[in-house]
């Protein structure tokens, strides 16, 4: 990746993180930790040219799809879609407010660019499998990206979907696992140990690529490799830092679902802009 592209993506990720903090501070509730951890991934997907999407025509038939299975992390999706031009950024100030299109979990009927209403953990991957099968049946050259949480992998439905995706050789399905090691009640290894995570996906018949979720060169390489796999689904295991970019939120499960105060928000934004 050239220096100019990397600088642009870093700037977009910074803008996304600042918007996440502002949104949550304004709403007084929401999920900062797992939103901040995915900002670099979302920056790359939406601003590198990797996705075939069009904010002016969000339902075009040949578009790539992004399904945020861990729907509680919708602030990162909302901030990204607004930055990309799917809707006016003024909506971000209405997060979780009565009558807003931006509720605490994404609604595909209200928000341009949202491909699936998610929030019940474990269901998004199943929806992504169905989308990938449908696109293949329709002979569409498009990919479906499913963004999962590592705590979400406690859900049995994840593994049913994983088994189906491999059985049907869905080479147009790319999963991205936000492996930050924390969930609402603590460390994933203590709540429900799903390790060895990589071996599990391999054993279910997926092609697996492990990366640093905050390294744009590794993100680019992984996405490029994933698109070349034609006869199996791909899982990109993205090792991330929950609360990335804000020192007092990083690796703290208490910031899984707590909004910052005004003072905390100002401190967080100053660190992000660093």
pTM: 0.97
What is the DSSP track for the chain?
Answer: --HHHHHHHHHHHHHHHHHHHHHHHHHS----HHHHTTHHHHHHHHHSS-S---TTSTT-TT--EEEESSGGGHHHHHHHHHHHTSS-GGGGGGTT-TT-S--SS--TTTSTT--S---STTHHHHHHHHHHHHHHHTT----EEEEEETGGGGSHHHHHHHHHHHHTT-TTEEEEEEE-SEETTEEHHHHS---SHHHHHHHTT-EEEEEETT-HHHHHHHHHHHHH--SS-EEEEEE--TTTT-TTTTT-GGGSS-PPPHHHHHHHHHHHH-
CATH topology of domain 3-273: Rossmann fold (3.40.50)
Domains of the chain, by residue range, sit at 3-273
What is the pLDDT tens value at each position of the chain, 274 positions in all?
A: 899 999 999 999 999 999 999 999 999 999 999 999 999 999 999 999 999 999 999 999 999 999 999 999 999 999 999 999 999 999 999 999 999 999 999 999 999 999 999 999 999 999 999 999 999 999 999 999 999 999 999 999 999 999 999 999 999 999 999 999 999 999 999 999 999 999 999 999 999 999 999 999 999 999 999 999 999 999 999 999 999 999 999 999 999 999 999 999 999 999 999 8
């Amino acid at each position: 990746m050239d220096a100019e592209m990397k600088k642009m993506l870093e700037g977009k990720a910074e803008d996304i993180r600042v918007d996440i903090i502002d949104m949550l501070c304004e709403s007084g509730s929401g999920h900062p930790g797992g939103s901040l951890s995915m900002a670099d991934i979302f920056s790359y997907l939406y601003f590198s040219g990797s996705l075939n999407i069009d904010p002016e025509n969000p339902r075009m038939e040949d578009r790539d799809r992004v399904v945020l299975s861990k729907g509680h992390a919708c602030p990162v999706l909302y901030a990204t879609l607004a930055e990309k031009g799917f809707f006016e950024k003024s909506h971000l100030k209405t997060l979780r407010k009565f009558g807003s299109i931006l509720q605490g979990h994404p609604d595909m009927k209200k928000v341009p660019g949202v491909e699936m209403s998610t929030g019940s953990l474990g269901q998004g991957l199943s929806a992504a499998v169905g989308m990938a099968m449908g696109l293949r049946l329709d002979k569409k050259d498009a990919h479906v990206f499913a963004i999962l949480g590592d705590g979400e992998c406690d859900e049995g439905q994840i593994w049913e979907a994983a088994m189906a995706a491999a059985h049907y050789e869905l080479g147009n399905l790319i999963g991205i696992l936000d492996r930050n090691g924390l969930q609402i009640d603590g460390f994933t290894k203590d709540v429900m140990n799903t390790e060895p995570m990589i071996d599990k996906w391999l054993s279910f018949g997926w092609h697996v690529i492990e990366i640093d979720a905050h390294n744009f060169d590794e993100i680019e390489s992984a996405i490029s490799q994933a698109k070349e796999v034609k006869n199996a689904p791909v899982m990109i295991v993205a090792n991330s830092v929950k609360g990335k970019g804000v020192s007092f939120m990083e690796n703290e499960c208490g910031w899984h679902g707590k909004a910052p105060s005004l003072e905390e928000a100002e401190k967080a934004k100053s660190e992000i802009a660093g």
